Every structure is written in structure tokens, then in C-alpha cells.
Amino acid sequence: MYEVAEWKHVFKLDPDKEISDENLEIICESGTDAIIVGGSDNVTMDNVLNLMSRIRRYLVPCVLEVSEIESIIPGFDLYFIPSVMNSMNTKWVMGLHHEAVKEYGEIMSWDELIVEGYCILNGDCKAAKLTEANTELSADDVMAYARMAEKMFHMPIFYLEYSGTYGDVNVVQAASSVLSSTKLFYGGGIETPEQAAEMAEFADVVVVGNVIYDDFQSALKTVKAVKP
């Protein structure tokens, strides 16, 4: 099922981290709606290809979240393209995208690309530092970005990114309250089924990442918490 609008739960696997074949099979067969391959460090063609070909043994949809133009390889079901709305450096909003489309626009499969309006809220995470994101935002600020993503830019996804830390459910609720067609993704610091369920009350899709590597059993339980 490549219908992102129907997803509720996804796992995000980091090509720079190790996962055993056994655990990868359990993740892929867990009932999650998709696997996103992505990270902010050492994402290379080699480690992306390796992880994609291992995930490809299973039926679960497999998405590359592009963070480096050099690591884009064919073979994924979809390509998520982040645009960091609260970056103070246009490179991360539209700059790299412009370069990529200028170079590859003729040969791109546009149907496979989905733009994510990113709003990064954990100032300590690598993505925030890299993209020079202004993370000092009120709920009103976040609601405005959410409205812009949907009403001005018609982005299919608005992604509240707290990567590495559990976020503020009131902010997620605020963003959710102004979105109708754009899907709200929440990611960051989910370590327990209870946290997954709490965020899923307002987010359309919860993204579970680091806990896969830190507490595998707990990561698995987040699927049922969101998709009983």
C-alpha cells in the first residue's frame, strides 16, 4: 500500500546503524505501514543500497527520505523530500532542491516524489544544527507553518520533527487542528507504546526511529499501540 494518506505508523531505519537480519524481518513483518530509510549522518550510496536490498525481501513499502543527493538510488517505492520550513538558510528550504531538479529534472519520476514540509523542534538534534533551524517556536508559530504547508504550498506531509527527544503533545495537537488534507507526521523520542498512542491521537502518522536500536521489544510494541 503506497497510500500515505492511510498510514498510521512507520519505522525509520538509519543506514548508518546495524540491524540484524532477524530483527529486520520482525520490523518489516510487524504490521507497520512502511519503512523509511533515512538519517542525518554518513548516509552513503553503499549503506542505502545495502539496507534497501535487505528490506526489499519483504512486502512492506520502502521509502527513501532524501538527505543527500549523492545517496539517491533507484528501487524505492517512494522518495520523501524534506524542505525545512523553519531553517534560516534557504539551502535547506529550496536551495538543494533547485540544484537537484536543475540537474535531474528531465529524468525524475515525479510520481514517486513526496515533499515533506519539515518543522524541526529539537534544537539539539543534528538535523536542527545542520539546517540552522529556528527551533524557538510557540504553538502559534507551528500552526502558522502547518497552515502554510497545506494552504500555500500544498505539501502532502507536514512533519513535526523532534528527532531524539519526546515532543510536546500540545504542539502536535495545535498543528493537527489546522490541517485537513496535509498529513501530519510526528517523529521524535518515542520509546514506549504509551507515547506512540499519545502522539497518534493527533498525528496521522507516528515515526519510530532510535528506539529500534535502543530497545527493540519496546519499538515493536509501538505498532499495536497505534494500529490495534
Ligand X SMILES: CC(C)=CCC/C(C)=C/CC/C(C)=C/CC/C(C)=C/CC/C(C)=C/CC/C(C)=C/CC/C(C)=C/COP(=O)(O)OP(=O)(O)O
- What are the residues binding ligand X (CB under 6 A)? 14, 38-41, 65-69, 72-74, 81-82, 84, 92, 96-97, 100-101, 104, 108-109, 118, 125-127, 130-131, 161, 163-164, 209-210
Q: Which distant-in-sequence residues (6+ apart) come within 8 Å of 180 by Cβ? A: 150
Out of 210, 219, 223, 226, point to the residue binding Mg ion (CB under 5 A): 210
* Nearest Cα to Cα of residue 57 among 29, 36, 18, 15: 29
- Please identify which residue in 65, 209, 225, 226 interacts with Mg ion, judged by CB under 5 A: 209
Do residues 211 and 220 touch, judged by C-beta distance below 8 A? Answer: no
Q: How far, rounded to the nearest angstrom, does the alpha carbon of residue 199 sit from its chain's CA centroid? A: 15
Among 128, 187, 198, 223, binds ligand 1GP (CB under 6 A): 187
Q: Which is nearer to ligand 1GP, 151 or 213 (CB)?
A: 213
Q: Is 82 a residue that touches ligand 1GP (CB under 6 A)? A: no
Under 8 Å between Cβ of 159 and 150 = no
Query: What gap in Å lies between CA 131 and CA 122, rounded to an integer?
Result: 12
Phi-psi map region of 186: left, alpha, beta (phi>0 left; psi -120 to 50 alpha): beta
| DSSP-derived secondary structure letter, 41 | S
φ, ψ for residue 141 (rounded to 5)? -60, -45
Does position 117 interact with ligand 1GP (CB under 6 A)? The reply is: no
- Site string (132-161) toward ligand 1GP, x via CB under 6 A: -----------------------------x
**Whole-number minimum distance, CB 183 to Mg ion, in Å?**
21
In terms of CB distance, is 98 or 177 closer to ligand X? 98
Q: Which three cell numbers stand for residue 81?
A: 523530500
Binding residues for ligand 1GP (CB under 6 A):
12, 161, 163-164, 187-190, 207-211
**Which residues contact Mg ion (rule: CB under 5 A)?**
209-210
